[in-house]
Amino acid sequence: MTFEILPALDLRGGNVVRLREGDFARETVYGDDPIATAQAFAAAGASWIHVVDLDGARGKPRQQAVIHAIVAAVADVRCQVAGGLRSPEAVTAIRLSPRDWSPITGPIASSALSTCATARRWGTAGGPGPPAGLPWMRSTCWPTPASSNSP
């Protein structure tokens, strides 16, 4: 088995932060330039960067412009995005190119894609069929001819 470690950029209020045990009251600020941090990850050899809008995780996504700037600044690195993607509109607002959709989680694992119709619309960004990492969708939203009852 092989795996890849993804460096993470947790964004809150425009800063790069880390929360201790997920506690917003125990935040450490590591910098105020997320683009420079992403570029440093890329220069160090990262092939993926996990980007989280922590403001969005607590309510409405607020870091879309910064996330798009990060993706543009590290064009050779794929970005997995999370945080506040709870509606099809939020997913649309952060929509990245198909190469930036994680085969593990990312936007496609959001509760915004909990219906088959929405999952079919966004889940095929990386190719035909259901997104990897969401096995329930394989049988539920992309049924085989033997199991044709789809919600």
- Per the listing, tokens 């790069």 go with 16
Q: What is the tally of structural domains in the chain?
A: 1
Written as six digits, the tokens of 101 are 């959709």
Q: Are 92 and 118 in contact (CB under 8 A)?
A: no
84 located within any domain: yes
**Which residue range is the domain that position 54 belongs to?**
8-111
Q: What is the pLDDT along the chain (151 residues), one digit of tens a residue?
A: 888 888 999 999 999 999 999 899 999 999 999 999 999 999 999 988 988 899 988 887 788 889 889 988 998 888 888 787 766 677 667 766 545 544 334 444 445 455 566 666 655 444 555 555 455 555 556 555 554 444 4
Tokens of 61: 């996504």
Assigned domain for 126 exists: no
